[in-house]
């Protein structure tokens, strides 16, 4: 399998599975225990790895969201809890979700080793949210670590994608309208606040995806054949466990 074939297969699944712990009941309950509703725990939990920064820093690292929404969620949340503490709680929630859902997945250790190999080979330069999340300590048990690494590698590609968007000249709002037009309200955008998406916008979006693949390719190219197989078979088994 070539690195591009591997990326084409596993990265969409990592994108769709890496946020599996975000809004489950147990994570929401942990947010409540910390004095936060689910949405605020998402913002300060996911962004808290950046530290006690200004909302503009979180906006830059997240992309896609309407800036006012991030400012409101971030500033109100950090009046309740230290961001770094919330970030570590969120990482812990990922581990707990993995333990609940992935403990019976066969050959999980090989899958985790392959994820670790990608993460070890990944260059975090310029990828602020990924770099911050990568610096957090992760658990050692395979089910918990698997979920944490899925979330982390989702941030890897997401951070790389924002870099790609900048290169092709697409702002987050336009990119969001091109990629996920049905989710505008969820991300805080009013439908009349965004431009009409043209073929030129779509072409730039596609080029940004190509550049994203180029940025993450060296990390996935570091895997040998056995690691590739462990990643492919593992992601299929994990997908089944997380979505059942």
119: buried, middle or exposed (CB in 10 Å: 19+, 13-18, 0-12)?
middle
The secondary element (H helix, E strand) that includes residue 7 is: helix 3-17
Q: Are 47 and 90 in contact (CB under 8 A)?
A: no
The token pair that represents 194 in the structure block: 């965004």
pLDDT at residue 98, as a whole number: 98
pLDDT at residue 130, as a whole number: 98
Residue pointed to by tokens 């940004």:
208
Q: What spatial distance separates the first Cα and last Cα of the chain, rounded to whole Å?
A: 28
pLDDT at residue 203, as a whole number: 95
**Can you say whether residue 207 is alpha, beta or left, with left for phi > 0 and alpha for psi between -120 and 50 degrees?**
alpha
pLDDT at residue 180, as a whole number: 79
Please enumerate in sequence order all residues whose Cβ is within 8 A of that of 97, keeping only pairs 6 or more positions apart, or say none.
Answer: 20, 21, 24, 26, 27, 147
DSSP code, position 184: T
pLDDT at residue 28, as a whole number: 97
3-state secondary structure 99-135: HHHHCCCCCHHHHHHHHHHHHHHCCCCCCHHHHHHHC
| CA 171 – CA 165 distance, rounded (Å) | 7
pLDDT at residue 187, as a whole number: 83
**How many helices (H) and strands (E) are present in the chain, helices listed first?**
12, 0
| CA 240 – CA 244 distance, rounded (Å) | 6
As a whole number of Å, the CA-based R_g of the chain is 18
Each of the 244 residues of the chain gets a pLDDT tens digit; together they read 999 999 999 999 999 999 999 999 999 999 999 999 989 999 999 999 999 999 999 999 998 888 999 999 999 999 999 999 999 999 999 999 999 999 999 999 999 999 999 999 999 999 999 999 999 999 999 999 999 999 999 999 999 999 999 999 998 888 888 887 777 777 887 877 777 889 999 999 999 999 999 999 999 999 999 999 999 999 999 999 999 8
Total domains in the fold of the chain: 1
State the residue range of the domain holding 27. Answer: 3-243
pLDDT at residue 236, as a whole number: 97
């Amino acid at each position: 399998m070539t690195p591009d074939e591997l990326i084409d297969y596993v990265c969409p699944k990592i994108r769709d599975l890496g946020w599996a712990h975000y809004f489950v009941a147990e994570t929401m309950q942990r947010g409540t225990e910390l004095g936060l509703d689910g949405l605020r725990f998402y913002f300060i939990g996911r962004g808290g790895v950046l530290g006690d920064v200004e909302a503009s820093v979180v906006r830059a690292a997240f992309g896609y969201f309407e800036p006012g929404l991030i400012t409101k969620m971030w500033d109100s949340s950090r009046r309740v809890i230290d961001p770094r503490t919330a970030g570590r709680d969120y990482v812990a929630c990922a581990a707990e979700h993995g333990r609940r859902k992935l403990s019976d997945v066969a050959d999980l250790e090989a899958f985790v080793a392959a994820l670790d190999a990608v993460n070890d080979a990944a260059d975090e330069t310029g990828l602020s949210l990924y770099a911050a999340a990568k610096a957090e300590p992760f658990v050692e048990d395979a089910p918990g670590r698997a979920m944490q690494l899925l979330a982390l590698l989702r941030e890897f590609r997401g951070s790389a994608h924002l870099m790609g968007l900048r290169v092709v000249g697409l702002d987050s709002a336009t990119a969001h309208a091109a990629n996920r037009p049905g989710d505008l309200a969820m991300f805080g955008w009013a439908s009349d606040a965004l431009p009409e998406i043209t073929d030129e916008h779509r072409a730039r979006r596609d080029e940004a995806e190509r550049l994203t693949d180029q940025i993450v390719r060296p990390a996935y190219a570091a895997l040998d054949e056995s690691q590739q197989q462990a990643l492919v078979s593992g992601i299929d088994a994990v997908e089944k466990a997380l979505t059942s």
